[in-house]
């Protein structure tokens, strides 16, 4: 209860609400298009492969621009324009999609939607990193629980609007509902650095390594440069040497040099988001192709939404103090592989209710835990770099997952083939995350050995 009171009374609350609304819009758009996919294919003369490419690009653009957005976010005067423009682009992309007359326009407008969501959520998550230090895991999970709400609410609206307005009118009205994110983005407080960091006792620019700090390296470089100019003024040789030293020092201070196994997180992200994109993009067509009615499909998405919401909130809560994020990730991966295999082998609606709930819990929980693993293992002052690079890698996985999902379904004329592919990819995810688990952060190993050595032997 104490943590809940702190969240409600802190600057984190508006950020959580903004993440929640944007996340619900993201997955809701994908699910709504899943209900409209047959109408869109007839109207725009597209195929499942085309839809896979379009949805894959939406998810790719949601991730790939993150390094650029994170770099722009470091300029304080750009933060508010970035947040507001992201909320506007998210809404306009869906509105323009309802007016599309060709496959190319559909791809462009879905990409615009993905870029808007990327801008908004990236800025909100980096803001949350500053304003919610101790409760970051819980706040992050609560914000991303919007994916669970979007999985069921917008599909219900989409199906309700389908008969009277068609897919175009349905998407136009959905864009108006998503527009509620804009006033939330406008109302966010972006001037937080001085107040919130002091309140939480957080020192934002402080390296976790035992080596020299970046300030020391910078001063040493400047001293070297001045000394070189004194020896031979106008000679560029010393400048080249100084630049090389700075570059090597940056590499040695990076998390990738100090912790080489950490680079596996990019492989984990890439493979996991292939599963994420394939499962979310083709769950509804997969269910409808098995002859299940639209009403039962909505109930099934509701089951998945419940699992998604519970997992995102639950993961944020249990990793806040009790369990390590990487252990939760391993368990969730194993559960998803089992659920996907059962879904493929057993064609039964009630079994699918359970498997979709488990898969939604696994996919949603791991989407949260991935960032928590990065934040826990990375240096505090380099989190924005690691986070943005990982999202860029994830975008490639999202595109490939959507493309391969549609291609496999097109090749075998069955979305069941797509769901046969997903557990194979998830097995690769499991292998990579187990390697990371067996090779913890070097600082953690040193601290563990230090505690064992410092414990006196009573014998």
Encoding tokens for residue 183?
């006033």
Q: Which one has a higher pLDDT value, 98 or 399?
A: 98
Angstrom distance (rounded) from CA 164 to CA 155: 15
- The answer to whether the beta carbons of residues 334 and 277 sit under 8 Å apart is no
Angstrom distance (rounded) from CA 62 to CA 65: 7
- The 10s digit of each residue's pLDDT in 380-393 is 666 767 777 777 88
Angstrom distance (rounded) from CA 212 to CA 84: 39
- The 10s digit of each residue's pLDDT in 104-115 is 899 899 989 989
Average pLDDT value for residue range 31-55: 82
Task: Tell me which residue has tokens 């293992």.
Answer: 377
Q: Which one has a higher pLDDT value, 60 or 212?
A: 60
DSSP string across 267-281: HHHHHHHHHHHHHHH
Task: Tell me which residue has tokens 């389908």.
Answer: 162
Average pLDDT value for residue range 42-52: 82
- The 10s digit of each residue's pLDDT in 402-431 is 888 888 888 888 888 889 999 999 999 999
pTM listed for this prediction: 0.63
Average pLDDT value for residue range 317-325: 77
Encoding tokens for residue 186?
């406008």
- The 10s digit of each residue's pLDDT in 132-182 is 666 777 777 788 778 878 877 888 888 888 888 889 999 999 999 989 889
CA 455 to each of CA 237, 440, 444: distance values in angstroms, whole numbers, following the listed order? 52, 22, 17
Angstrom distance (rounded) from CA 316 to CA 146: 13
**Percentage of the residues of the chain whose pLDDT score is greater than 70:** 76
Angstrom distance (rounded) from CA 69 to CA 114: 13
pLDDT at 346 over 70: yes
Angstrom distance (rounded) from CA 398 to CA 275: 8
**Percentage of the residues of the chain whose pLDDT score is greater than 90:** 15
């Amino acid at each position: 209860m104490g943590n809940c009171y702190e969240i409600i009374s802190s600057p984190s609350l508006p950020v959580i609400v903004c993440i929640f609304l944007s996340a619900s819009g993201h997955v809701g758009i994908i699910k709504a298009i899943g209900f409209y996919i047959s109408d869109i294919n007839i109207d725009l003369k597209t195929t499942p492969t085309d839809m896979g490419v379009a949805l894959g690009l939406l998810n790719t653009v949601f991730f790939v621009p993150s390094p650029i957005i994170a770099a722009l976010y470091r300029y304080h005067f750009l933060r508010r324009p970035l947040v507001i423009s992201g909320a506007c682009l998210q809404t306009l992309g869906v509105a323009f999609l309802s007016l599309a007359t060709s496959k190319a326009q559909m791809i462009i407008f879905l990409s615009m939607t993905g870029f808007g969501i990327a801008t908004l959520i990236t800025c909100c998550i980096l803001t949350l990193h500053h304003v919610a230090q101790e409760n970051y895991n819980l706040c992050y999970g609560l914000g991303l629980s919007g994916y669970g709400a979007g999985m069921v609410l917008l599909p219900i609206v989409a199906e309700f609007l389908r008969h009277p307005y068609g897919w175009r009118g349905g998407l136009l009205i959905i864009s108006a509902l998503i527009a509620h994110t804009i006033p939330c983005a406008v109302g966010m407080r972006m001037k937080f650095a001085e107040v919130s960091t002091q309140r939480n006792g957080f020192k934002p620019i402080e390296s976790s390594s035992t080596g020299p700090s970046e300030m020391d390296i910078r001063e040493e470089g400047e001293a070297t440069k001045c000394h070189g100019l004194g020896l031979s003024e106008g000679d560029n040789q010393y400048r080249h040497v100084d630049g090389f030293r700075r570059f090597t020092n940056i590499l040695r201070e990076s998390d990738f040099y100090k912790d080489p196994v950490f680079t596996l997180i990019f492989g984990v992200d890439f493979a996991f988001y292939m599963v994420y994109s394939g499962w979310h993009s083709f769950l509804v067509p997969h269910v409808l192709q098995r002859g299940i009615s639209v009403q039962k499909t909505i109930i099934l998405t509701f089951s998945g939404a419940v699992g998604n919401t519970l997992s995102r909130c639950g993961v944020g809560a249990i990793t806040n103090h009790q369990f390590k994020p990487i252990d939760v990730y391993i368990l969730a991966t194993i559960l998803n592989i089992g659920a996907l295999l059962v879904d493929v082998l057993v064609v039964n609606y009630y079994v699918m209710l359970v498997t979709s709930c488990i898969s939604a819990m696994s996919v949603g929980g791991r989407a949260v835990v991935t960032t928590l693993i990065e934040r826990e293992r990375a240096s505090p002052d380099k989190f924005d770099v690691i986070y943005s690079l990982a999202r860029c890698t994830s975008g490639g996985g999202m595109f490939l997952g959507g493309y391969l999902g549609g291609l496999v379904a097109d090749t075998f004329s069955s979305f069941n083939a797509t769901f046969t592919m997903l557990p194979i990819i998830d097995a690769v995810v499991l292998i990579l995350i187990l390697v990371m688990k067996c090779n913890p952060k070097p600082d953690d190993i040193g601290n563990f050995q230090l505690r064992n050595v410092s414990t006196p032997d009573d014998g």
